[in-house]
Amino acid sequence: MKLDKDMEEVLPTFIIESIELLQGMESDLMALENIEDTEETINTIFRAAHTIKGSAGLFGLDHIVRFTHAVESVLDLLRNGKLSVTWELVAVLLPCCDHLNSLIGDVANGNLEENQEVTECGNRLLDTLQPYLKLDLKTSAATQISVAALHGNAERIETIASNAIESGNWHLFLQFNGNCLRDGMEPLSLIHYLSTLGDIVGLTTFYDAMPDAKSMDPESNYLGFEIILKSDANKETIESVFDFIRDGSQIHILPLENRIPYYVGLIESLTEDNAKLGELLLKSGVITQRELEEGLNTQHTQIKDQPPPSARIGEILVGQRVVQQPLVNAALEQQQQIKEKKAHESQCIRVDADLLDKLIDLVGELVISTAAASLRGIQTGDVALQEANAGVISLVEAVRDSALQLRMMPIGTIFSRFQRVIRDVSRELGKDIKLVISGADTEVDKSIVEKIGDPLLHLVRNAMDHGIERAELRAERGKPAQGTLQLNAYHSSGNIVIEISDDGGGLDREKIYAKAVERGLLPAGAVLSEQELYALIFEPGFSTAEHISNLSGRGVGMDVVKRNITELRGIIYIDSMPGLGTTLRIHLPLTLAIIDGFLAGVGDASFVIPLDKVVECVALPIDDNHDYMELRGEVLPFIRLRQLFQKNGPVSRRQNVIVVEHLGLKAGLVVDRLMGELQAVIKPLGKLFSHVQGVGGSTILGSGEVALIIDVPGLLRLQEQGQVSV
């Protein structure tokens, strides 16, 4: 199948929107079991399925339409109260979302044709939906919309067989005028002609207006007909059959009730700008141009005689029995969505991620160029140049902040994925676990969001498997049977902190220690701090699990988690209380691109310290050979960068101390020169320098010199452990 040029251009939009809708469907499905008022959530899920189906139909993706139609049929039963929300139903619908994701993924990969293997997988899922679709259809359209109701008669008529209703798609109510025979119009001939447009699969004759035999006029028509028609013709074509007999007759052509979801889907797939209610109903084919014009004429007359609230076109069309209320409701909802979408689109545009990355790179080069211009101004002593450059630097900073803000994403985009993981894994483990999310709106750079997902997933699964106990053990310990896993995120000191907490049994320190000694990681009798002990769980192949499960227990993965987080310039801290649970805190930088820094010189080299870690700068006491100093009654240990990085060059007569702090740890970095603030574009050092501790990257200065960026958290941690030469 080949799309025309216009459809090819909008196909990426269909793919992106469908993926977003499916993500929302998955989240809403999992939320159904935990909320009391499910009506709005069910409606949202139903609208998402309809939108995907309708949009897929526009591109001729019939295999997606067929599968989604079955899913939406179940959702429609749920929406109408014919099904109730159960864990089993949600468990059936969630794999359907996964399958739709696969189908959309195939389209994204350029495969517009149906894949037989994927279709067979979908058919197996459809089999799981069938038990929910086997409802008694005898209460469908023929019963729901009776001719008696249309004609003010309280007595119901005979309904048409359910198999006819199932196979048809149009429901006709015909009460021809009493003089039609005199006018040469034979009702049966019209019905016979109607059969040329399709198959009449059901016909009922009603005779409510039939008088007794003595009063009967043989030239008058007393009969009415209820017809179920199966036809591919649109409503306007069917209506044209009765053009010459319309005056004085009551002719109502409506979609069968079991076809209403189909037309609701069509309505919800329409994306007309400034769409009016009548236009939506007309374009979906549920009313004709004549019916719309008659309704508008009636509305115009009512506006003259009554206040506007009494002249709503939807109410008029329902009152004239040309359309059902559910279709009007769907059109009203779509009308509102179109307005909201247009208002949102006027404020937002989609930008390719690669373009954002290119923008950040260009801003980085601009920062380096402005630094070079600033240096030139200082070297030449040109005051006017320095003042002009200061203005440019201010603007560049504003551009930098705006560009970085464009790449910011809420961390909740990751957190929401774990709802499904918690659900599936907890069932696999036989544990009842709930997920509590907070801080989902906390923003972080897109590049970090993309890379932190897998490490978080491993930590979440590990907490569920090893952290949270089984229900019987929790009962013995006086805990509720349901375990709790919490994901939290917040900003702290220029970092984003992600917490994974569980209320399980906590880490067994003695077992960790014994395992480390057994594996030769520690000598017997070694004394370790709490963090040093907990850090052992990140050693390759380290595990204290007694049994190996499908999820964990082989010691594979935690070392990869730490390596991935370290590559993001992040740090993991662990807090654990035996019997109460464990919390892992991951500290990550907000961005991996550009930072504000403080430039310092040591010998013939320059170093950049992240500005958010700098507390203050003080002069080093003269002839002070100690490795610490007293700062306002507090002992401040030193880290001498000259010795740490083995730098040569003359020592400054008056050295300075840059006081840095991270998570309550403080130290003084001893440097030769203080060179002021700057914007630093972070450049990776590469694998060759991966063994260098205390360095988080590099940057290019305005002079072209390469300066190392100090990893303050890493340095402070090493200093606390006594691994830094001072």
Is residue 726 one of the residues assigned to a domain?
A: no
Residues 390 and 275: their CA atoms lie apart, in Å, by: 52
Q: What is the CATH number of the domain that holds 700?
A: 2.30.30.40
CA distance 375 to 372: 5
| Distance between CA atoms of residues 277 and 635, nearest Å | 75
- In the chain, % helix, strand, coil (3-state, to 5) comes to 50, 20, 30
pLDDT in the model for residue 167: 59
* Tokens found for residue 497: 């902190």
Helix, strand or coil for residue 114?
coil
Residue 459 belongs to some domain of the structure: yes
Q: Are 562 and 714 in contact (CB under 8 A)?
A: no
- The whole-model pTM stands at 0.57
pLDDT of res. 600: 92
Q: Is 340 in the same domain as 398? A: no
Q: How far is CA 133 from CA 18, 70, 122, 355, in A?
A: 25, 9, 16, 47
Quick one: 604 and 543 in the same domain? no
Q: Provide the pLDDT confidence category of residue 134 given band limits of 50, 70 and 90.
A: low
Distance CA 51, CA 54 (A): 5
pLDDT at residue 434 is higher than 80: yes
- How many other β-carbons are positioned within 10 Å of the β-carbon of residue 582? 23
- The 628-631 sheet, strands edge to edge: 614-619, 656-662, 665-671, 634-640, 628-631
> Which of 534, 564, 589 finishes a domain?
589
Range of the domain at 400: 353-407
CB neighbourhood size of 282 (10 A)? 18
Which among 508, 467, 511 is positioned nearest to 486, based on CA atoms? 467
Shared domain for 149 and 272, answered yes or no, is yes
On whether residue 435 sits in a domain, the answer given is: yes
Task: Determine the pLDDT at residue 288.
Answer: 83
Above 90 in pLDDT, residue 631?
Answer: no
Boundary of a domain, candidates 135, 163, 181: 135
State percent of the chain over pLDDT 70: 86
- Of 68-72, 183-187, 522-526, the one with minimum mean pLDDT is 183-187
Higher-scoring residue by pLDDT: 722, 76: 76
Asked if residue 276 lies in contact with residue 164, where contact means CB atoms within 8 angstroms, the answer is: no
pLDDT at position 547 over 70: no
**Which of 318, 345, 372 is where one domain is finished?**
345
CA pseudo-torsion sign 399, 404, 407, 410: negative
Higher pLDDT, 144 or 486: 486
Judge if 80 and 37 occupy the same domain. Answer: yes
Is the model's pLDDT at 9 over the cut of 80? Answer: no
Query: Are residues 317 and 446 located together in one domain of the fold?
Result: no
DSSP code string of 75-102:
HHHHHTTSS---HHHHHHHHHHHHHHHH
Q: Which residue has the higher pLDDT, 173 or 585?
A: 585
Q: 371 and 291 share a domain?
A: no
What lies within 8 Å, CB to CB, of 42 at 6+ separation is 32, 75, 78, 79, 85
- Whether 654 maps to a domain, the answer reads yes
Q: Where residue 530 sits, what CATH number does that domain have?
A: 3.30.565.10
Q: Which residues contact 339 (CB under 8 A, 6 or more apart)?
A: none
Residue 397 and residue 431 in one domain: no
Summarised one tens digit per residue, pLDDT across range 569-618 is 788 889 998 888 999 999 888 776 778 889 998 888 899 998 888 999 99
Model pLDDT, residue 583: 94
User: From CA 414, how far away is CA 398, in angstroms rounded?
Assistant: 29
Whether 278 is in a domain gets the answer yes
Band (pLDDT 50/70/90 cuts) for residue 155 is very low
Would you state the pLDDT for residue 157?
Answer: 33
Helix (H, G, I), strand (E, B) or coil at 642: helix
Q: Looking at residue 617, what is its pLDDT?
A: 92
Are residues 327 and 366 both part of a single domain? no
The contacts of residue 316 (CB under 8 Å, 6+ apart) are: 295, 298, 299, 302
CA–chain centroid gap for 150, Å, is 46
SS3 of residue 681 by DSSP: strand
Q: Is residue 725 part of a domain?
A: no
Mean pLDDT of 668-685: 85
Identify the pLDDT of residue 162.
Answer: 45
What is the pLDDT averaged over residues 267-272? 63
Number of domains composing the chain? 5
Per residue in 195-236, pLDDT (tens digit) is: 888 888 888 887 777 888 888 888 888 888 888 888 888 888
Alpha helix stretches (DSSP H) within 407-529: 412-415, 418-429, 446-462, 471-476, 509-518
**Residue 38 lies inside a defined structural domain of this protein:** yes
Residue 701 lies in a domain: yes
- The string of pLDDT tens digits covering residues 87-130 is 888 888 999 999 999 999 888 888 888 888 888 888 889 888 88
Q: Spell out the residues 6+ positions from residue 308 whose beta carbon is closer than 8 angstroms to its own.
A: none
Same domain assignment for residues 53 and 202:
no
* CATH number (domain holding residue 64): 1.20.120.160
Q: How far apart are CA 275 and CA 286, in angstroms?
A: 16
Q: Is 403 in the same domain as 420?
A: no
481 and 554 part of one domain: yes
Q: Do 454 and 553 belong to one domain?
A: yes
